[in-house]
Amino acid sequence: MTKLKKIIIISLAAALVLIVILVILIVKKTSGPLPGGQVSEPAVVAPKFLDDTAKEKLGIAPETKIQSLKESEKGEVMVYKVINNDSDIVLNPAQIGSISPRQTSPQ
């Protein structure tokens, strides 16, 4: 075989592999779960609220309702959320996206 034929064959094979990969990615993205696949329900966690002692340690007014979202291994509050009404309560902390320090809560 000549060099040109080898280059053409390798190029066609690479293009075919690329097309197959793209088709697989598109099918996975557009299709739902595969038959027989299990769709897991989002984990619902019982909300945990800070007591007055924990609020005092954080310098928060005792009358403020605060939900603890993440704690350290020692049990110290690492992430919390101010609860203004019941719709603010988080049932699945994994669904919370990252928050920019400049982002403000909706009023």
Tell me: do 80 and 57 sit in the same domain: yes
- At residue 33, the 3 state secondary structure works out as coil
Residue 41 in any domain: the answer is no
Residue 65 pLDDT > 90 = yes
Q: How far apart are CA 27 and CA 22, in angstroms?
A: 9
Q: How far apart are CA 72 and CA 93, in angstroms?
A: 15
Residue 106 in any domain: the answer is no
- More confident site: 13 or 102: 13
**Residue range(s) defining the domain that contains residue 71:** 48-93
Count how many domains the chain has.
2
pLDDT at 76: 86
Section 95-101 average pLDDT: 68
Within 8 A by CB and 6+ apart from 71, the residues are 77, 78
Section 43-66 average pLDDT: 87
